Chains A and B, each alone.
Chain A
Amino acid sequence: MSHDETLKESLTRNGVSRRGFLKFCATAASIMALPPSMVPAIAAALESARRPSVIWLSFQECTGCAESLTRSHSPTVEGLIFDAISLDYQHTLQAAAGDAAEEAREEAMKENWGKYILVVDGSIPLGNPGYSTIAGISNLDMLKETAKGAAAIVAVGTCATFGGIPKANPNPTGAVSVSDIIKDKPIVNVSGCPPIPVVITGVLAHFLTFGTIPELDELGRPKVFYGNNIHDRCYRRPFYERGEFAETFDDEGAKKGWCLFKLGCKGPITYNACATAKWNEGTSFPIESGHGCLGCSEPNFWDMGGFYKALSQPAVDVSQTAAYALGAGAVAGLGIAALNRKKKADVATDHQTVTIHDLRRNDPSKTEAEDS
């Protein structure tokens, strides 16, 4: 498929019927979290969409983000979206290596100057450029050079969006995010460790469909996927409202599927689509598997006081707050959001490390002697 061929022309050439195309559009709408009524508009836009060039740079990362995408549960749609783009450089996936790989990147940049999408996973070390280089080029230099000709940048994963685990205290490499360095390009932050694969493809599909980046929240994340926190969309939320909490991972509350707030769940301060998009062929998400949310799509999640430390005891009468929200609509909703943001800031400043004792608390079968 050439860059000039439209997606519709490519699908037709590959024997995909109109029904198949509409099925693709229906699934794409679902991926982009758009209402099904948008399918005809998506179909019309995609019919004329030209194939954009994508350059994917990997810096200080673990390849988990690329694994998330390439092992996602819907290879047909992901494959179609990747057929619909021209992935011109991705050093984990491409066959070329060394100088040939770098030539491919330079060629793609030259041919598509001002029009290509730059995808970045991994953080960028500012402490010493030698911590991470590709073909002898520092991550900082490669990012700056490649960003110059990009139409937009998609920062994939919490490392690229917020610095992630490399930035965790004491941040030995001086890791920073893409948006800490690039200030003059539209940047979409697709955070998560790793991000949900359909969220990555959803952003690419949005660019392909509309030629623009989606509407972003204050942290630069697409609102369609990061507009709600995990807590508000969690199926265990009714237990929180009733004050029914699991106290340990094997007590009666845990067995009954009660709220995991007291076990350190970060759902109330974490904005992501896990509760609806879910993982592994839509099977479940961490809370459904009995473990609290780690908050991996939020800045500095690694340093937020321990995965098993509760955010706080419910400090407000939640049901009363919710009633105010119902009464006052969006304004009160924003109030709750602001409260959640404040909680997050408080937690960040109240950093404590977790200990074995924390993990064993409330477990009478374990003694202090065993803990020490």
Chain B
Amino acid sequence: MSNVNTCASLDTGNDILILHEIRHALRKLLDDGESTIIDLRAIPMAPGEEARIEAMLGQGELSATLNALGKSTINETAFSGAWLITHYNTEDEILGKFIEISKLPSILASQHEDIEVALEQLTHQLLV
């Protein structure tokens, strides 16, 4: 158990690097309107480091839950424009974790294909 406790203070330094990457992405979003997505699971992390990154990012004004192929949580961080997106499967196990730097994460918007289906369904409902 002592290993677990002491390992919690290990640090690759990637937490600070990710914050720098987010800062550059926010600048790019402001200047060019270009979005950035960072795959947190593609970066080496020491035990507890991912949690420290999340703690540093904090919680912003908006939280949303998506229910499609399991739950997804979309939380704006304390830094407006930086969103933490976590995808879960139907057994609430984490499939992927991303930081998206955009005005609105693309997965939140209603999708063209789904709107087409909705239109068809509503039309059918009004006809019967």
Please count the residue pairs between chain A and chain B whose beta carbons lie under 8 angstroms apart in the complex. 102
Most buried by A among B38, B46, B68, B91: B68
Smallest Cβ distance from A10 to chain B, in angstroms?
Answer: 13
Q: Is the interface of A mostly helix, strand, loop or mixed?
A: helix
- B106 and A74 form a contact (CB under 8 A): no
| Complex Cα–Cα for A284 and B70 (A) | 23
Q: Is the interface of B mostly helix, strand, loop or mixed?
A: mixed
Given known contacts A22-B107, A23-B69, A23-B87, A234 and B95 CB-to-CB distance under 8 angstroms:
no
Residue from B2, B13, B68, B89 within 8 A of A74 (CB atoms): B89
**Interface with A: B3-11, B16-24, B55-63, B76-84, which one?**
B3-11
**Chain B residue at minimum C-beta to C-beta distance from A79:** B89
| Complex Cα–Cα for A174 and B93 (A) | 42
| Complex Cα–Cα for A30 and B99 (A) | 13
Smallest Cβ distance from B45 to chain A, in angstroms?
Answer: 7
- A76 and B111 form a contact (CB under 8 A): no
A29 cross-chain contacts in B, Cβ below 8 A: 39
The reply to whether the CB of A18 lies closer than 8 angstroms to some CB of chain B is yes
Task: Identify which of residues 282-318 in chain A touch chain B, using a CB-to-CB cut-off of 8 Å.
Answer: 282, 284, 288, 290
A288 cross-chain contacts in B, Cβ below 8 A: 7, 47
The reply to whether the CB of A26 lies closer than 8 angstroms to some CB of chain B is yes
Task: Identify which of residues 1-35 in chain A touch chain B, using a CB-to-CB cut-off of 8 Å.
Answer: 16-20, 22-24, 26-27, 29-30, 33, 35
Smallest Cβ distance from A282 to chain B, in angstroms?
Answer: 6
The reply to whether the CB of A327 lies closer than 8 angstroms to some CB of chain B is no
Chain A: interface residue total (CB-CB under 8 A): 41
B10 cross-chain contacts in A, Cβ below 8 A: 235-236, 257
Task: Identify which of residues 117-164 in chain A touch chain B, using a CB-to-CB cut-off of 8 Å.
Answer: none
| Complex Cα–Cα for A80 and B70 (A) | 13
**Range of interface residues on B (Cβ < 8 Å):** 35 or more
| Complex Cα–Cα for A288 and B48 (A) | 11
- A22 and B111 form a contact (CB under 8 A): yes
- A275 and B69 form a contact (CB under 8 A): no
The reply to whether the CB of B113 lies closer than 8 angstroms to some CB of chain A is yes
Smallest Cβ distance from A67 to chain B, in angstroms?
Answer: 17
The reply to whether the CB of B94 lies closer than 8 angstroms to some CB of chain A is yes
- B93 and A73 form a contact (CB under 8 A): yes
- A282 and B113 form a contact (CB under 8 A): no
- B111 and A27 form a contact (CB under 8 A): no
Smallest Cβ distance from A137 to chain B, in angstroms?
Answer: 38
A290 cross-chain contacts in B, Cβ below 8 A: 3
Given known contacts A26-B98, A76-B69, A234-B44, A19 and B7 CB-to-CB distance under 8 angstroms:
no
23 contacting pairs across A/B (C-beta < 8 A): A18-B114, A19-B66, A22-B111, A23-B107, A30-B96, A35-B39, A36-B39, A36-B98, A39-B37, A74-B93, A76-B91, A77-B89, A233-B44, A234-B44, A235-B12, A235-B45, A254-B3, A257-B7, A276-B41, A276-B43, A276-B44, A284-B47, A288-B7
Q: Knowing that A80-B69, A235-B49, A276-B41 are A-B contacts, what are 12 other residue pairs whose CB atoms are under 8 Å apart, sorted by A's residue number? A: A16-B69, A18-B114, A19-B68, A23-B69, A24-B69, A26-B87, A26-B96, A76-B69, A77-B89, A234-B44, A255-B6, A257-B10
